[in-house]
Amino acid sequence: MSPKAVARWFVNHTDRDSGEVMTQLKLQKLVYYAEAWFLANFDRPLLSEDFEAWAHGPAVKSLYAKYRGHGWEPIPPQPGKSVPKELEPFLQAVYDEYGQYSAKKLERMTHEETPWLEARGALPPEAASRTVIPKVKIRNFYAARIEKEAIEQLQN
């Protein structure tokens, strides 16, 4: 599935009436956590693209390209194709768990987790990086949290 479709779902499910905002930084982290927990639960990727270990946490280039014009400002509702209905309860669970946190809190959380840390290696904190975070490493890190065994490769 396209990261843009998943991102659109998160943007459009932001409760603006209660004062919630969706920034590009927060959106990148929510899409990352959706991918991480999908990998952990189903041993296969949700998304058709990889995350890279950027200075502000895991990021997908295509999402950055689409939303960079918003800078740190809230992203308005987005028209376009939605995700399949059967995926919505999963995305809602991710949003319920992680959507309550600020973008900077989510950034700090990813900075404490092994997949991003290993992909960054010894780079200085603000250094640019295009290093891909391997999906199997993401899967195994989050799968361990739900007491699943590590695997060598993902299902198709």
Helix (H, G, I), strand (E, B) or coil at 87: helix
Query: Strand ranges (DSSP E) for 28-149?
Result: 52-54, 57-59
pTM: 0.96
Cα(118)–Cα(132) distance, integer angstroms? 10
Q: At what angle do helices 24-42 and 88-98 cross, to 10 degrees?
A: 120
Burial (0-12, 13-18, 19+ Cβ within 10 Å), 29: buried
Q: In which element (H, E) is residue 139 found?
A: helix 135-145
Structure tokens at 147: 């007491």
Condensed to tens digits (0 to 9), the pLDDT of residues 105-137 reads 999 999 999 999 999 999 999 999 999 999 999
pLDDT at 140 over 90: yes
Kindly indicate the confidence band of residue 87, based on its pLDDT and cuts at 50, 70 and 90. very high
pLDDT at 54 over 90: yes
**CB contact at 8 A, 154 and 39:** yes
Q: Which residue has the tokens 């959507």?
A: 99
**CB contact at 8 A, 11 and 30:** no
pLDDT at 80 over 90: no
